[in-house]
């Protein structure tokens, strides 16, 4: 990784980043469920089709992190936090 670009990632601990899923180990989770017979994907109890039509990206992030949808105050707080951390380092932009 280029010097001067800070990722917040400990390169000594994780010296190689896999591209794609090769070599990635998957574990069971309570965050999502796939019902292949019904063709359903469920995130924290909500059908993905319903979330895709009715929820914002930020609401789904909050749902996955907290197992519930946010109230309006929590949603605004999360949006502000994401905006604060959205900028890219200048070397990435150059």
**Domain encompassing residue 72:** 1-94
What's the average model confidence in pLDDT over 14-20?
A: 62
Binned at pLDDT 50, 70 and 90, residue 25 comes out as confident
- Give me the CATH number covering residue 71: 1.10.580.10
Instruction: Note the pLDDT of residue 93.
Output: 80
- Domains in the chain: how many in total? 1
Quote the pTM value.
0.65
Please write the tens of the pLDDT for every residue from 26-60. 778 889 999 999 999 999 999 999 999 999 999 99
- Angle at Cα 36 formed by Cα 20 and Cα 22, nearest 5°? 15
């Amino acid at each position: 990784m280029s010097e001067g670009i800070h990722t917040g990632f400990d390169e000594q601990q994780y010296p190689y980043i896999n591209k794609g899923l090769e070599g990635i180990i998957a574990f069971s989770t309570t965050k999502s469920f796939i019902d292949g017979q019904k063709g359903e994907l469920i995130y924290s109890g909500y059908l993905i089709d319903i979330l895709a039509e009715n929820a914002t990206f930020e609401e789904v992030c909050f749902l996955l992190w907290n197992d519930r949808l946010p109230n309006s105050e929590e949603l605004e707080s999360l949006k502000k936090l994401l905006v604060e951390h959205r900028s890219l380092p200048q070397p990435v932009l150059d």
